[in-house]
Amino acid sequence: MKYINLMSLVQASDSLPLLSFNAFLDLHGIQIKPAEIVDLKVLLKALYALPSKLSAFDKFYVGYKIPQIGKEFDLLRFGKEFVVNIELKKTCSEDKVKAQLIRNKYYLGCTGRKVYACTYVVDVATLYGLQDDDSLAEIDLVSLRDLLDRQEVDRTEVVDNLFDPSDYLVSPFNSTEKFLEGKYFLTHQQEEIKNLVSQYFSGPKAPKFVSVVGSAGTGKTLLVYDIANELRRAGKNVIIIHCGSLNEGQHELVRNGWNIAPIKRYANYDFAVYDLVVIDEAQRIYAWQLKDVIQKIEAAKGGCIFSYDKVQTLSNSEERAKIDEKINAINGLVIYRLSEKIRTNKEISAFVKMLFNNGRKLPLESRDNIRINYFNSPEDAKLYLSSLNEPGWEVLRFTPSQYNKEHHEDYFCQDEKNSHQVIGQEFDGVVVILDRYFSYDDDDGELCYTGRAYYHPVMMLFQNITRARKNLNLVIVGNELLLNRCVSILQ
């Protein structure tokens, strides 16, 4: 998207034929409705009459959307010291104006710059500004003009680089304090699904089943925990059954009054006393447990949400269970799919797709957040891993067998988190290992593992690698084939 002079925009709208005007908008990457141009004209006319310099209308982004998030702003101007956000409304209540500006301030505040957020309501010819304490006040147009006059803008700045989409996805597990304090926002897609699910469960008491499905990084855990939190605040009785061992974040939520239990203890709870039962990471539930849960929900005439990603299985038995098919076969199931990736860095996402299949070719715009280290000796690899004690890196190991020693235990330490312990979690930087037993299938090019292991190493690698939010460090041990594949992807 390119910035534009707002006077240029409205005058082009007034004077150009529709075809030429649309081409002018496309050139700047702008999508704007005719009614929005009308509102913009009213504001500009009022500012111009003060009078204002033409430069005060320059270098605005119109309809800017944060990459990957989709959060949109009417008018944005990025200065070296502060950001100006102007929203345009034909008519709007003060409560709605305030709520939107607080939300905007949160997103724009992640640039590290002070944010001046305001809304011009056309019908009452009033400019509202958000104050430092998040209160709303009427402000005069002269203040806005003076603010724009003194704003220094860097014409060469790439504004997309000011935003890190992963900052907006707060994990209930890894950012538990922020989650408990409500210091997060949902994306537009998450909000839509939340509203639909809440409406669905607000009806007459009856067995109601919902599935929330999404791949790694789409924010399904935050969404279902937010829905649960909303119902808890409304006085409803909610329990979350986690299909795995509880992590520290979940233990912290329990200490703050949440009902969360591991799947192995689900039978200890009477579902009839709960308004909502959430089955999180449901792809890992046993078929007989799923059948029992469904029967108990139906008998209690309660509500149930299954949250899962069908590819995040860790063993062949979990994959063969086809839990996704069994959930989809539930009578009356309402399915919601999260499609917008938030957490996962797009370069890491593209890299992972090519790593797991040697025939895939995808564009890779940046390589700065992916590191490759190679060791021929497992002992030296282990020493390297033990040296990664700097903040920002989480070494993730494979879950070992309880019965037999496995190859990957040679280079891991016991105090590192394993694949089962990090289900649903996220970390800024993740370190994963590729040993000599990883290779590619000759027929379909898919990554495979030839060594002996109780749990599926390829599935565990996928689980571990998709926990990365910002940086990925691959430690390759004695595997020239995988080294060459990684190098070729990054070149």
- pLDDT by residue (tens digit) across 233-259? 999 999 999 998 899 999 999 999 999
Angle (deg, nearest 10), helices 34-48 and 141-150: 90
Phi then psi for 86, rounded to 5 degrees?
A: -120, 120
- 285 and 352 part of one domain: no
| 472 neighbors 355 (Cβ within 8 angstroms) | no
The C-alpha atoms of residue 401 and residue 424 are separated, in whole angstroms, by 21
What is the DSSP annotation of 249-277? Answer: HHHHHHHTT--EEEGGGGGGS-GGG-SEE
The pLDDT tens digits of the residues spanning 340-361 come to 666 567 788 889 999 999 999 9
- The pLDDT of residue 54 is above 90: no
338, 373, 401 — which closes off a domain? 338
Nearest to 338 by CA among 484, 198, 186: 186
* CATH code, domain with 227: 3.40.50.300
Specify the number of domains making up the chain: 3
3-state secondary structure (DSSP) of residue 352: helix
The pLDDT tens digits of the residues spanning 64-110 come to 998 767 789 999 999 999 999 999 999 999 999 999 999 899 889 98
Nearest to 116 by CA among 148, 83, 154: 83
| 392 neighbors 471 (Cβ within 8 angstroms) | yes
All residues at 6 or more sequence positions from 149 whose CB lies less than 8 Å from its CB, including other chains: 52, 53, 55, 56
Phi then psi for 135, rounded to 5 degrees?
A: -85, 165
- What would the mean pLDDT of 481-486 be, rounded to a whole number? 94
- 184 and 83 part of one domain: no
- 154 and 180 part of one domain: no
308, 338, 368 — which closes off a domain? 338
- 36 and 181 part of one domain: no
* CATH code, domain with 87: 3.40.1350
The pLDDT tens digits of the residues spanning 139-192 come to 999 999 999 999 999 888 889 888 876 666 688 998 899 899 887 878 778 889
Residue 408 domain boundaries: 346-490
* CATH code, domain with 408: 3.40.50
Q: Which residues pair with 446 in a beta bridge?
A: 357
As a whole number of angstroms, the longest Cα–Cα distance in the chain is 81
258 part of a folded domain: yes
In this prediction, what percent of the chain has a pLDDT beyond 90? 65
168 part of a folded domain: no
Two tokens, residue 489: 């992807």
Nearest to 372 by CA among 489, 488, 491, 487: 487
39 part of a folded domain: yes
Whether omega for the bond prior to residue 51 falls within 30 degrees of 0, making it cis, is: yes
The C-alpha atoms of residue 211 and residue 278 are separated, in whole angstroms, by 10
Q: Where are the alpha helices (DSSP H) in 206-345?
A: 220-233, 248-255, 287-300, 316-321, 323-328
- Size (the chain), residues: 491
- 19 and 150 part of one domain: yes
Q: Which residues pair with 167 in a beta bridge?
A: none
Note the pTM of the prediction, 2 decimals. 0.76
170 part of a folded domain: no
